[in-house]
Amino acid sequence: MERTVVRCAEGHVFTTTSFPMQQLGADRLGPGRLIRCPRCARLRHAVPVVEQNKR
């Protein structure tokens, strides 16, 4: 199972094994999803974290 790094609306960064409807992409539904944050234990809007290449 692939893990996705996400950031919740409160700024907490964590990984999740399931990111609902990820295969539909940003064009159709947008990048964010409602998932439960393990740090604040609340249902939060979360978006995938984009990794930047270090040069």
Using DSSP's 3-state secondary structure scheme, residue 45 falls into strand
Whether 20 maps to a domain, the answer reads yes
Instruction: Please state, in angstroms and rounded to a whole number, the distance separating the CA atoms of residues 22 and 53.
Output: 22
Whether 21 maps to a domain, the answer reads yes
Which tens digit of pLDDT belongs to each residue from 2-52?
A: 888 999 999 999 998 866 555 544 444 567 788 889 999 999 988 888 876
| Number of domains comprising the chain | 1
The pLDDT of residue 33: 82
Whether 53 maps to a domain, the answer reads no
With residue 46 as reference, give the H or E element that holds it.
strand 43-48
The pLDDT of residue 48: 87
Residue type, 17: T
In the block, residue with structure tokens 């064009």? 27
DSSP code for 1: -
Whether 54 maps to a domain, the answer reads no
